[in-house]
Amino acid sequence: MLCQVCLCCLFFSRGFYSCRWTESNNQNRKGRWLSLLVVTLMSLLSLCWLYICFAISNDQQNVNEVLFSKLKKWANYFLVVVIISAVLASYCILLLLFALIQVALEEQLHLHWLHKIIFCFCVIFITALASGVSTKGPEEWPTVLTLLQATAPFLQFGAVGALTLLSPFVFHRFHLAKTRSKMVIAGMFLAVSAAIFLCPLLIHSPCLIEVQELPEKPKLIGHRGAPMLAPENTMMSFNRSLECGVIAFETDVQLSKNRTPFLMHDHGPDFLLRTTNVNSSSFNNSADLTFEQLRTLNAGEQFLKNDPYGTVSLLSEEEKETVRKQTIPSLLDLLDFAKQHNTSVIFDLKNKETEKNDTNDTVKTILESGIPQNLIFWLPSKERSVVKEQAPGFIHVYENETDLEKNNGSHLNVKYSEIKMKNISDLRKRNITVNLYVVNERWLFSMLWCAGASSVTTNACHLLKEMERPDWVMPRSTYLITWILVDISSALVMMALFHWTKHNLRHNADGPSNDNEQEVFLTRLP
């Protein structure tokens, strides 16, 4: 019975691995090692890349926007990359599984040429994308480190499990090796085990705290409104973000030809292409058009067409109708709305390099709107001193810690990956308000919550609003006990496996089967 299952396994794994369904000619030991090594490395590489994709998924909108500005065509490029990566990773892992079955059944490991070609493709694909990230978005790498920090305790448990599972293979080699190789194998194995067992000493996640110490939940700021529920930077979007209970509207301001500040993120060449119904490349600057001209454009249809967040299907027919009617708002529209709802406004000034009077005209519009000055979070750093004179009531928000300290400020707004978790809690202890952008995923929001962030700018206010606690919070003492117990049980299991493999070999050698079989066994094992 068992052997039939074995045969079946063997048949499939051999068939898949080498496309040979029958016993093949002998392969030397080096060849088998190499084959196993290649498959293992490919599995690790593809898994690491998938992990990186998972980290970057918080910023997938950035990725798509950058590619849109290059290719002038909207698509969910990120999703395509993730799907291809997931397929490649599953394929590599399946192959590794078959390789391990082959090893367990003392079979050959002839890697079929088709697998080799796919491996080459996989390496090229990942290298190309990784260098793309390095050149176009190097700020994404710290995000991966942040995810590492968030998942480190669980990765360590996984690594201990994997080490325990793989140890019999190492022990087997060890028992068969000559004295000198024995020392090398033992040395390497002990070093790797020690590193995996002891790495929790280096793990510092902000969520390793007592539940009572958990800071207040960060407030939410709507990034261009609620862009998953309505077209970004439209009045409908700000209205919907209000339903999430945001404390502020985040937006982007540019000035039209007739000096009216209006709301739009994209600037420079083809700035209308992504969000409005202009589809020819004829406008390269916000100052090319008057606000009256801009006002005639439709700012909603593109959202229904591109479905940038895959959320259009969640909208009712009535909501879709409202989307279709959206136009480009002026800053004044938003200020009136913010004033009415006692909600703050924070914005970036685009095109600030080319237009000298943008700051002046924007401040003038704000003052004329009659909005209480303390509802304005002033972010643009250029001409800050002038703004301080013109509008002493604005709250000044700084873009980095140096600038904050220099100006003795009380509000900081940085990208989440540009600040250490520990610095967030240190700044909060000094009553400095810390806002992080753009935070969309639960794992990231959880980390920043534990770290004590005051607020986050988000695309997904409707999802983060629902969270009642971080994904996980664990007291340090509980974690300490857990990892020590996990390490000890793993060590005990490995000791048992060590003796078992030794006993097994001796049994094989002493058994009725003769030396000849032992020899065959020796040569067959990689």
Ligand X SMILES: *[C@@H]1O[C@H](CO)[C@@H](O)[C@H](O)[C@H]1NC(C)=O
Return residues touching ligand X (CB under 6 A): 342, 381, 399-400, 402-403, 430-431
- Tokens 């990784």 sit on residue: 130
Give least dist CB 89 to ligand X, A: 37
Coil, strand or helix at 440: coil
Q: Give me the phi and psi of 254, to 5 degrees please.
A: -135, 165
Q: Cβ 227 to ligand X, closest distance in Å?
A: 24
What gap in Å lies between CA 337 and CA 326, rounded to an integer?
15
- What is the CB neighbour count within 10 angstroms for residue 65? 17
> What is the Cα–Cα distance from 364 to 4, expressed in whole angstroms?
84
Rounded CA separation 449/446 (Å): 5
Q: What are the distances in angstroms from CA 228 to CA 20, 57, 320, 453?
A: 51, 15, 13, 23
**Smallest separation (angstroms) from ligand X to the CB of 343:** 8
Closer to ligand X by Cβ: residue 402 or 514: 402
Nearer to ligand X, 36 or 432 (CB): 432
Task: Tell me how far, at minimum, the Cβ of 27 lies from ligand X, in Å.
Answer: 57
CA distances to 177, 349, 357, 377, 396 from 386, rounded to whole Å, are: 77, 15, 12, 15, 12
Residue 350: φ, ψ to 5°: -85, 170
Query: 183 Cβ partners below 8 Å, 6+ apart?
Result: none
- Rounded to whole angstroms, the Cα distance separating 405 from 292 reads 42
E strand or H helix at 263: strand 261-263
Please identify, using beta-carbon distances, which residue of 25 and 402 lies nearer to ligand X.
402
Residues 6+ positions from 464 with CB-CB distance below 8 Å: 220, 244, 439, 442, 445, 456, 458
Q: How far is the CB of 342 from ligand X (least distance, A)?
A: 4
Render 122-155 in DSSP notation, one character per residue. Answer: HHHHHHHHHHHHHHH-GGGHHHHHHHHHHHHHHH
Neighbour count for residue 267 (Cβ, 10 Å): 18
Smaller CB separation from ligand X, 293 or 400: 400
143 or 343, CB closer to ligand X?
Answer: 343
Tell me whether residue 381 or residue 518 sits nearer to ligand X (CB atom).
381
- Shortest distance (Å) from residue 429 CB to ligand X: 7
**With respect to ligand X, which residue has the nearer C-beta, 90 or 373?**
373
Closest to ligand X by CB, 341 or 469: 341
Least distance to ligand X from the beta carbon of 359, Å? 14
**Least distance to ligand X from the beta carbon of 400, Å?**
4
Cβ at position 397, least distance to ligand X in Å: 11
CA 191 and chain centroid, separation = 31
Helical axes 141-176 vs 476-510, angle rounded to 10°: 30
Nearer CB in complex with ligand X: 245/268: 245
Least CB distance from residue 344 to ligand X, whole Å? 8
Question: CA–CA separation, 131 vs 128, rounded Å?
Answer: 5
Please say which residue, 269 or 372, places its beta carbon nearer to ligand X: 372
CB of 389 to ligand X, least distance (A): 18
Give the nearest distance from C-beta 65 to ligand X in angstroms.
22
In the complex with ligand X, the residue whose CB is nearer, 106 or 405, is: 405
Which among 77, 72, 50 is positioned nearest to 61, based on CA atoms?
77
Strand runs labelled E in 337-450: 344-349, 376-378, 395-398, 411-415, 433-437
Residue recorded with tokens 């599972």: 165
For residues 415 and 524, which CB has a smaller minimum distance to ligand X in the complex? 415
| Token pair of 397 as six digits | 């928000």
Q: Which of 196, 122, 135 is nearest to 166 (CA)?
A: 196
